[in-house]
Amino acid sequence: MKHLFLLAASIWTIGILHAQDTIKVPPPKPAAQKLDSAKANSQKTDSAKPTRRKSEIYREAFKHVRRKFDSTLFTTKDLPTTSDYAEDLERVYQTLNRVPIVTESFVRLPEIDNKLDLEDSALDILKDRMSQSDRTLNIRNLQMFNTLLDALDKNIRGYARYLNQYDTALDGIRKEIADLRKDTLILHIFRDTALKDTFQLQLQQLKTKWRQVDSLVALNGNYVNSLKSEASAHAITITDLSYRVDQALKAVGSRAFGKERRYIWEPRSANPSSFSRANFQRSVDSERQLARFYFDNNRTNRLWLLFTGIAFYFWVWYNFHTLRRMSKLPALDEYHFSFVNPHPVAGALVFVLSLAPLFDLHAPAIYIESIEFLLMIVLSFILKKHLSRFLFYGWCTFLILFLLLPVIRILGLPFAMQRWAELFVDLASLAFASFYLFGKRKLGGRLRFIYAAAGLYLLLNLLAVVCNIFGRVTLSQIFGATAVYTFAQTVSLAVFLRLVVETFLLQIVSSRVRKGYPENFDLAAVSKSLNRFVLLLAIVLWLIVFTTNLNLFDALNDWPTDFFGHSRSVGSFSFTLGGLVLFLGIIWLANFLQRFIAYFFGDTGDDAAMDDRGQRSRLLITRLVLLIGGFLLAVAASGLSVDRITVILGALGVGVGLGLQNIVNNFVSGIILIFDRPVRIGDTVEVGDKRGRVKEIGIRSSTLLTDDGAEVIIPNGDVLSNHIVNWTLSNNHVRLALSFTIEKPTHPGALDPKAIRDVVKKHPNVLDRRDPEVMINTLTSKTEELKVYFWIKDITKTPYTTGEIRTSIYQLLDQKGIIVN
């Protein structure tokens, strides 16, 4: 029975499985057909009669239709659905919408286009100027052409970098669009009629967007390619013009010493050129256009120059304003300032115009001439108050001679006429210099330097005359221009030197007044230090202008640049001498500034400033920051990498182990003294057997000022290694003791301790909150010892306080009839 039951169950199960395999499953319908089928079924259901029996429904549900086995039930292949097509369309839209965002980032295209047009006109002028057959092209203009071409080349490289970035972005867009054309889902939508009808609205929008993007990509691509082509053409032109300008500058040296033109006494050619107003106008226009373009491409330096002038003006004005507000302007009377005043417009102009050549070494000739002429106009107003009438008339004459040179050059005269005009100016300058140099009236005092400047002016004009007569026209122009500019620069730098020194002195006085220091200080020592620094700066400026006018600056600058810029290697360590020199130079400058930074705060090293401990401590930290900042700036500016510095520090570590430990110990001890502050500047301390006030705490050593005026220099390591007695660490209070040997009074109540305490308390330096103590000890049968203990407020006034209190006690004892032994 059991076996029959198992057999029946097995047959029943096989029948069910076989029935499932024979169920007819309809094929999948598209989405649209499914939607229509669902609607039809809904309508059929709604129209069915309500009297239909449940048994009929069940029979239909269990109705089996035999069919063949369907293997798709067990496959893992996914067929795309409507949502897949919709997501792919959305991705295409996102890609196309990103194209305007990318092209809108090409914001520099109009700017590059405008600048290329401006540079094109500048290059046309340069080509026209370089193609002229006239061999008297101005030397300074050739140098300016070279600088201008360098700026143009730098601009072109910048344009090319942006254009390449834009071109790369467009290439990326084109690649993405090309990938969209290969998308199988999008292609299937366009090939399937049902899908095309389903996404008809989306496809219409996609076509419109596609046309817009295609037009946008094509337009920007053509724009970028056009600008790249124009930039490439400019680069070729710049390379050619740079080569021609370099050759012209090289030819100046060889041509200048040779005979360029006929001797002055030789007859002229049969057809001399005549003056042309068109040539004059063309010369002026070309000078103006080139100068404007030069200024547009080199405005950063002049902005710094303008900022320097404005800062100088407000610096002087603020100091005068401070002294006026505190009613301390009479403190400046003893310094006899000549070039600074409460409204330093002229002083600021002299300061800026004197520094202008340093900011534009190869500026256009018309710019240099304008700057120098403006400088001399300002100097005329300043010197009128300080020069005699005889010297001021001479200065005005020099101003006229200076103005004639640029006028002759700009007029565009025929060469022969220009040569005679320059000869006339050089002869007039020669006579003018001889009259003032060898005349009966002698210059004295601070104007003796004019003799050296006038002597050089005379020599250069004499060389200009000789070269002009013997046909060395280029050399004559160089000597004539150099003579004028050198003399003008000498006078202006003399005023510049006094102006800067007076400004620093004004800063010192103003700072001392604000901090309550005494107004008087060691003027001679401070002026000597300031004069040395400013004189060095003036000499550098003068040499730059002098060598530039002689066309020697580039030649003198090229060899050191090549020598110091050449890379050298020691093992795996590569460096340049220029980097090392720059590194050491910045370190030296930082050390120089940290030494003289105290002048800005009115600290000239006297005892009055030493009393201001907070000021000295802040100044000490400022010096340390300058040194550390200078070191970091030197590392960054010199181009030395961090690993190279590590090698150097490793070598120094070996040196420390061998013999530099004391130096490093003192350096580290100095930093500890600065920040830990066991002693401060102005403290009264005892270090070993030395006692005095701390005058200075340096990086390596500290200075102790004794009561006798001796300055004891103690290494910082010794300061920390010894026991330090700081009498003024928390306050300036100190207890003093006075001892008197007196004869015993005949009356026991004659010596009243209270009267002695009252006398001590009356002194202003005695601390009120601590009562004085009076002790009387018997020494012999006839004498006693009187001891007085009291606290004072300021230890620095100890001798003054003890002297006055001792005198007051003597007077009191004398009044009591007590004899002091």
Instruction: Judge contact between 586 and 637, C-beta under 8 A.
Output: yes
What pLDDT does 592 receive? 73
**251: which residues sit within 8 A by CB, 6+ positions away?**
none
* CA angle centred on 471, ends 467 and 477, rounded to 5°: 50
Residues of the chain with pLDDT under 70: 1-78, 132-141, 252-263, 265-288, 290-291, 294, 297-298, 361-366, 409-410, 412-415, 440-449, 519, 553-558, 565, 570-575, 599-620, 637-661, 663, 746-749
Query: What is residue 797's three-state secondary structure?
Result: helix
Structure tokens at 588: 């030296």
pLDDT score, position 18: 42
Give the pLDDT score at 282.
63
Q: Are 289 and 366 contacting, i.e. CB atoms less than 8 angstroms apart?
A: no
Q: Which long-range contacts (CB under 8 A, 24 or more apart) does 223-228 make?
A: 223/109, 224/106, 224/109, 224/163, 224/166, 224/167, 224/170, 225/167, 227/109, 227/112, 227/113, 227/116, 227/159, 227/163, 228/160, 228/163, 228/164, 228/167
Query: 3-class DSSP state for residue 351?
Result: helix
Q: Angle 419-465-365 (CA atoms, 0-180°, nearest 5)?
A: 60
Give which of 388, 407, 465, 410 is closest to 433, Cα–Cα.
465
Q: What is the pLDDT of residues 673-696, one digit of tens each?
A: 777 777 877 788 888 778 888 877
Q: Which helix (H) or strand (E) holds 211?
A: helix 200-256
pLDDT on residue 30: 43
pTM of the entire predicted model: 0.63
Contact 294, 148 (CB under 8 A): yes
Spatial separation of the C-alpha atoms in residues 799 and 276, rounded to whole Å: 90
- Within 10 A of 198 (CB to CB), how many other CB atoms are there? 18
* Cα separation values, 300 from 295, 296, 372, 693, Å: 9, 9, 20, 50
- Could you tell me which residues come within 8 angstroms of residue 414 by beta carbon, excluding any fewer than 6 positions away? 272, 273, 274, 275
Burial of 699 per CB tally in 10 Å (0-12, 13-18, 19+):
buried
pLDDT value, residue 655: 57
Of 623, 634, 637, 708, nearest in space to 670 by CA? 623
Cross-strand partners of 691: 686
Q: Tell me the C-alpha distance between 248 and 551, whole Å.
A: 12
Going from the C-alpha of 393 to that of each of 134, 347, 389, 493, the distances in angstroms are: 38, 22, 6, 20
Half-sphere exposure of 75 (CA within 13 A, CB side): 6
Tokens of 726: 């700081």
Rounded-to-integer distance, Cα 317 and Cα 322, Å: 9
Report how far Cα 549 is from the mean position of its chain's Cα atoms.
Answer: 29
The Cβ of residue 162 has, within 10 Å, a number of other Cβ atoms equal to 18
Q: What is the pLDDT of residue 63?
A: 44
Please state, as a whole number, how many other Cβ atoms lie within 10 Å of the Cβ of residue 347. Answer: 24
C-alpha to C-alpha distance for 523 and 599, rounded to whole angstroms: 12
Under DSSP, is residue 92 helix (H, G, I), strand (E, B) or coil? helix
Three-state DSSP state, 705:
strand
**Please, what's the b/e burial string for 747-786 (b: 16 or more CB within 10 A of its CB; e: otherwise)?**
eeeebeeeebbebbeebebbbeeeebbbeeeeeeeeebeb
Residue 424's SS3 state is: helix
Continuous H helices in 257-341 = 277-297, 299-325
Pair of tokens at residue 200: 């008809």
DSSP-derived secondary structure for 493-530: HHHHHHHHHHHHHHHHHHHHHHHT--S---HHHHHHHH
